[in-house]
A and B are shown apart, each in its own frame.
Chain A
Amino acid sequence: MHILVVEDDSTMAQHIVHGLTEAGHDVDHVSDGRDMLRAAADDSLDLLVVDRMLPGMDGLTAIQAVRAAGNRTPVLILSALGEVDDRVHGLKAGGDDYLVKPFAFAELVARIEALARRAAGRGAATSLSVDGLHMDLLGRQVFREGVEIDLKPREFQLLEYLMRNAGHVVTRAMLLEAVWNYHFDPQTNVIDVHISRLRQKIDREFQEPLIHTVRGIGYVLGTSK
């Protein structure tokens, strides 16, 4: 993926650029809003990671300008510590997701990848299939290797999100946001217990487990990690 990182703090920028490059992405970096406007005109960009506070031109203003120019490239906003309240403003300004510093790098990677997938698969699918697991979105039915699995509505939503992001790590905060629609990082094991219930139904009867725990980060769905 071709990612543009807009971050004025050089240590932070280096950290992000290094990490994303290591994760296999092609990363460009600029350090203020004006440069961002110029760089964002590049059609080959898949995603922007923009710091909320930038010198010269504020990050949100820059995003608004990019959007006003008809650019639909997904944007992930980074905000300084404790500026949680900016989330709504950030999303209103045209951001697609929001992450508060400091973050676990895995959370950033997971969200970037989920954003890219969301942008790619904007069509309305009626069914999802991952490694022998089949989900009928219209009939609200789930089959694994032909056997129907009975899921409660929440479990269905959880599995749907995992399947839509199959092969990629999703964090607990992402799951809480996607399924319950509340935005915060649950520090407790509530989500884990929901996943373990889902796992009981999806994996117990079968040889190959589909739901894997990624320690310290979240979960991934798929036969191979």
Chain B
Amino acid sequence: MYWEHLSKVWRSTTFHLGLWFMVLFTVSFMILGGFVYRQTMVFLEQELRGTIELELNQSRLFYLERGEEIFLGRIGDLGEQDPTGIYILLDDACQALAGGYKRLDDDESIQEICANAPESDGWVRMELDIQRGFRDQIPEWDDDVYARIIPVAPNRQLLYGRMGGNIDSAREVVRESMNWGLAGMAALALLGSYLMAGIIAGRLEQINRISQQIRHGDLSRRMPQGRTGDEFDRLSGNLNRMLDQIQSLMEGVRSVSDAIAHDLRTPLARLRTRLEQLRKAPPDELEAGVEQSIAEADGMLATFNALLSIAQLEAGSRRADFADVDMRAMIADIVDLYEPVASERNVDLRLEQSTAVSVRGDRNLLFQAICNLVDNAVKYTPEEGRVQLELQRRGSGPRLVVSDSGPGIPAEERSRVFERFYRLDAHRDSAGNGLGLTLVAAVAKLHDSSVELQDNEPGLRVVWDLPRARSR
């Protein structure tokens, strides 16, 4: 189990990324560390040289003021007090006259050092042979000595040097801390990549596992979603919405097939009974009976066609036919088409307000959908009633309002009337297949718009916010 987890982490992209970052960070850490190291060294060396120069200047003044004898006594004292410093008085020929030249390391001769000094502006490096007694007091007793030689008087040069103990110990400290830092960083990066890979792999694994369960048929499962809104939450959210859609589509399919089975069984049974009776019917009734049967079958075919059109609309595959449609002309056509039906029923069908608006859409579908709305309004409005069409131009796009003075739809049934075959109890016996508003909803959805049913007090008010045309 543990090994399995480890190998999964090892194979994970995140872990590999983490490792690459580790390499990247190590390189940049080394560059940075090198820079800091160099700057520290330069700074410490400058400080040391500053101290040496200051001491040399003071000593020169002392020599000039007090004379050689007192000066020699003083450097002897100073040499004893400070084992890390060294004074040597030389003549122009680089012969040591006094001072701690005896403490020089055996390999080096003061003449040589002194002779080479002018090349580097008097600055020299050397090593001291520290006496045993001092060694306990100086931790870095084998360090280099930074020194400078300057002329103090005719035929007299003075050398003053100090051990670079600080520089060397700083060098050690920086090196050590860099090594530890590198090691620590590598360890942390490794641990971080491992944890990160573990977390990410874990979350993806969760999604994988749930996908698998869903694939095996448990459509109710959903991806876990945190509150942080990070990319995983968004991924889960999108997957969940997709699953919701799949589920609702599947439920839709199920409820449609249920509805079809239920609603088409009745006319089929009726058709069968009629045919059964026709078998024994006298010849003079035969033709009328066949006519009726054909009409019944045609009705069922029409219902099937309507169902198929709706299904196709809901699948959203017709958008290719979209063009800009002149809505004002279309509304005028609809009023023109329905005016005779309305006046036959003594209903006042009126185009109340109409503005020139264009809509991006499918002309035939929009026409059919609005016809369905007007058809319902005219059909369910009692005599002497009114049906009103309005076409408004609003900031968000064109709006179509179809309102009537009929009985309306109870608020609690308003969303259900868009379902297939759903019919209000009061209208169950009137003509119609219960698919009219379903088609309207499907057309509206295809046009990325929605139809809202409102109370017209009294009557029904259908509000459809249509998609704006592209060219305006």
Contact = CB atoms under 8 A, between A and B. Distances in A.
Interface residues of A, number: 26
A44 interface: no
Interface in B129-148: none
Given A104-B298, A193-B341, 14 more contacts: A81-B305, A82-B311, A85-B320, A88-B321, A102-B304, A104-B301, A180-B333, A187-B302, A188-B375, A190-B338, A193-B340, A194-B337, A197-B340, A216-B294
10 contacts: A81-B308, A85-B320, A182-B333, A183-B364, A188-B379, A190-B337, A190-B340, A193-B341, A194-B340, A216-B294
Q: In the A-B complex, list the 7 residue pairs whose CB atoms are closest, starting with the nearest.
A: A82-B308, A193-B340, A85-B318, A182-B367, A82-B312, A193-B341, A184-B368
Interface of chain A, main secondary structure: loop
Which secondary structure dominates where chain B touches chain A? Answer: helix
A106 to B, nearest CB: 9
In the complex, which of the residues B291, B295, B305, B340 has the most CB atoms of chain A within 10 Å of its own CB atom? B340
Nearest to A154: B336
A85 B317 contact: yes
B309 interface: yes
Interface string A54-68: 000000000000000
Q: What band does the interface of chain B fall in when counting residues whose beta carbon is under 8 Å from A?
A: 20 to 34
A207 interface: no
Interface in A184-213: 184-190, 193-194, 196-197
Contacts of B364: 182-184
B363 interface: yes
A84 interface: yes
A100 interface: yes
Residue of A102, A182, A184, A215 ringed by the most chain B CB atoms within 10 A? A182
A190 B320 CA distance: 29
B344 interface: yes
A182 B334 CA distance: 10
Given A100-B305, A189-B341, A85 B298 contact: no
Contacts of B159: none
Contacts of B344: 193
B333 A215 contact: no
B417 interface: no
Contacts of A188: 341, 375, 379, 431
B371 A84 contact: no
Nearest to B311: A82
Nearest to B297: A104
A133 B320 CA distance: 44
Interface of B: 291, 294-295, 298, 301-302, 304-306, 308-309, 311-312, 317-318, 320-321, 333, 336-338, 340-341, 344, 363-364, 367-368, 371, 375, 379, 431, 433
Contact of B363 (A102, A182, A196): A182
Nearest to A182: B367
A208 B333 CA distance: 32
Contact of A184 (B312, B318, B367, B375): B367
Contacts of B317: 85
Nearest to A184: B368
A31 B234 CA distance: 52
B292 to A, nearest CB: 9
A212 to B, nearest CB: 15
Given A85-B318, A216-B291, A185 B312 contact: no
B367 to A, nearest CB: 5
B429 to A, nearest CB: 16
B341 A85 contact: no
Contact of B295 (A85, A187, A189, A216): A216
A190 B291 contact: no
B298 A216 contact: yes
A154 B332 CA distance: 13
Contacts of B336: 154, 180
Interface string A100-122: 10101000000000000000000
A205 to B, nearest CB: 20
A190 B364 CA distance: 16
B341 A186 contact: no
A55 to B, nearest CB: 23
Given A85-B318, A216-B294, A216-B295, A185 B302 contact: yes
Most chain B C-beta atoms within 10 Å of own C-beta, residue among A84, A183, A186, A194: A84
A114 to B, nearest CB: 20
